[in-house]
Amino acid sequence: MIFRVFHRIAFLLFFAIIGLAGYAQDSLTTVKAEKGDGILSLLRKQGMNPYEAYDDFIAMNMDNLRDSVHLYAGRNYFIPPVKLDTVAIVDSIQKKSTEIKKIETKEFSIFGDKHAAVLTKSEKLKGAVYYLVSGHGGPDPGAMANYAGKSLAEDEYAYDITLRLAKELLSHGATVYIIIRDPNDGIRDERILEIDRDEVAYGDKVIPLNQVARLKQRVDIINELHRKNRGKFQRLIVTHVDSRSKGQNIDVFFYHHEKSKNGKKLAENVHKTFQKKYKKYQPNRTYTGTFEDRTNLYLVRKTHPAMTFIEIGNIRNKKDQKRILVPDNRQALAKWISEGVILDYETGEIGRIR
């Protein structure tokens, strides 16, 4: 009996150490993608943390994906095996205990019932403070477009991506202020996001109709919070969706203050992350997104924290619409931005933009 137990332990440790390389493909679980499935939803159906398994899934199924990130309905896909925690296994053996290690989570109602729980992934961003602003909101929907007979509004998609980014940053220990807030939307997994006008600014402030008053309100909130958090690593991230001619397909691009060394560095680090991701997941196309200074934008010019202003794409272009319509794409955008933010923090400096 003792021999069999330790034989099993050795077996588990062996496979935990060798990881994916130790599995023959015919021993892996395969699942058929259904119409409407994305990578994240497919992994959720298997009871997995989709964000942790995402990169492994891509690596295992690269030749069976459209544009390196999208599933084909009706095709079978390999599901990554659950990675075993060798430290947890050894600890359990030593204590002769079957107790399951608790996973630390925190609840944030702003993300909605389905997404309220935030899993603690690391403390990489512990001590960092982030102000997240999604463009427009309240009486101003921002850029508008039509898709399949339905209206699309910039503020709804910028907000959804911002919430997903906030959740990613929180999972790595950051302090996050969501400046534009919707009391009931939360993170949504639909393609067409219903348009409403009930967004408020941080502190439950009513968003003004006048554009200058609206922008000034955001600047005042951010600068006051920046003052209260003086001495900490602080950054601002503003998210918008551009509007251009229908035929103009654009990649995600970034702005920063022309005199901000830290703002330029933040924009550059997120830009570098996007370059890396496109090279990995879409090797057959060139990423053309840019980062540059643009101080004539009100939020860029008036806010105190080092910042980057992100344009996600052209809401009127069919290819760019897919970037924001597909929930998995919105999650990938948030994940990639967060990875650039982590890179920036690990190599960054505390300070104002001036």
CATH 2.40.50.100 applies to domain 105-346: no
Q: 178-192: buried (b, 16+ CB within 10 Å) or exposed (e) per residue?
A: bbbbbeebbbbbebe
For residue 82, the model assigns a pLDDT of 73
| pTM of structure | 0.78
250 three-class SS: coil
Q: What is the 8-class DSSP label of residue 300?
A: H
Q: Shortest CA distance to 66 belongs to which of 271, 319, 293? A: 319
Q: Locate the domains of the chain by residue range.
A: 24-79, 105-346
39, pLDDT greater than 80? yes
Statement: residue 97 has pLDDT above 50: no
Least confident of 170-174, 235-239, 280-284: 280-284
- Determine the residue type at 220: D
* CATH code of domain 24-79: 3.10.350
Q: Cα(161)–Cα(335) distance, rounded to whole angstroms?
A: 10
The residue among 198, 131, 190 whose CA lies nearest residue 160 is 190
Q: What are phi and psi of 200, to 5 degrees?
A: -130, 165
Q: Of how many residues is the chain composed?
A: 354
Which distant-in-sequence residues (6+ apart) come within 8 Å of 313 by Cβ? Answer: 241, 242, 250, 251, 252, 320, 321, 323, 324
Query: What is the tens place of the pLDDT at every residue in 142-193?
Result: 999 999 999 999 999 999 999 999 999 999 999 999 999 999 999 999 999 9
Of residues 240, 151, 133, 141, the one with CA closest to residue 197: 141
8 Å CB contact between 202 and 181:
yes
Contact at 8 Å (CB) between 232 and 129? yes
- Of 352 and 35, the one with more pLDDT: 35
Average pLDDT over residues 286-306: 95
